[in-house]
Chain A
């Protein structure tokens, strides 16, 4: 079965600095990878996905993520963090071609951007 790991519970960055939120994955087939963001008392909002093609994918709110097959990683990045980026970030994986269509989430990383 597919799984993801987010090794950091918490990431703190200063506003204007670059940010990285880490994610590694494990699948038996081809990984379809996703990042979601959750603001306080809200549901999960889709940020971006990797299906195939370019390893660097761009998403909402200036976020991007880089798929690295050799390192089985899909780290979320943003060149210049905003205070409003403070939220809970979840990495997720689906392995459709492996026969398991459900989406599995990492434990989440709480990003705090300080002014």
Chain B
């Protein structure tokens, strides 16, 4: 069964450093997302991406964040200058855009720890 894969599974970084979280969505999916979850709490929407541009973004997704699809398979989330409060589990997801098949499939997540 196809799945969304995320690397690394755990990233530790110093405050102020840049991090790049990587995702490989399911190959025939066209919509990509990043969500984050702080300490097993609410899953918060960050951004959606379609047709090589941001489709929607939340108020959390400020200028410190960026997304990119550098090639035909990867989808990355970059945090330019990490803050302590960026520590969270980051989930990538992808979906088709057919109306009758709309659920998003999630990766296992990357646990980001900012120290």
Contacts and interface: CB of A to CB of B under 8 A. Distances in A.
Interface of A: 32, 34, 36, 42-46, 49, 51, 88, 90, 94, 96, 100-108
A103 B105 CA distance: 11
Contacts of A107: 41-42
Contacts of B105: 46
B100 to A, nearest CB: 6
A96 B45 contact: no
Interface string B34-58: 0100001111110010100001100
Contacts of B109: 43
B18 interface: no
Name the residue in B44, B55, B104 with the highest tally of chain A Cβ atoms < 10 Å from its Cβ. Answer: B104
A105 B35 contact: yes
Contacts of A88: 40
Contacts, number: 55
A61 B100 CA distance: 22
5 contacts: A42-B108, A46-B105, A51-B99, A96-B99, A101-B31
Nearest to B31: A101
Contact of A49 (B42, B56, B103): B103
Contacts of B108: 42-43
Given A44-B91, A46-B105, A102 B99 contact: no
A108 B109 CA distance: 17
B41 A102 contact: no
Contacts of B55: 101-102
B43 A101 contact: no
A49 B102 contact: yes
B41 A108 contact: yes
Contacts of B25: none
Contact of A103 (B45, B97, B107): B45
Nearest to A88: B40
Given A101-B56, A103-B33, A107-B41, A44 B106 contact: yes
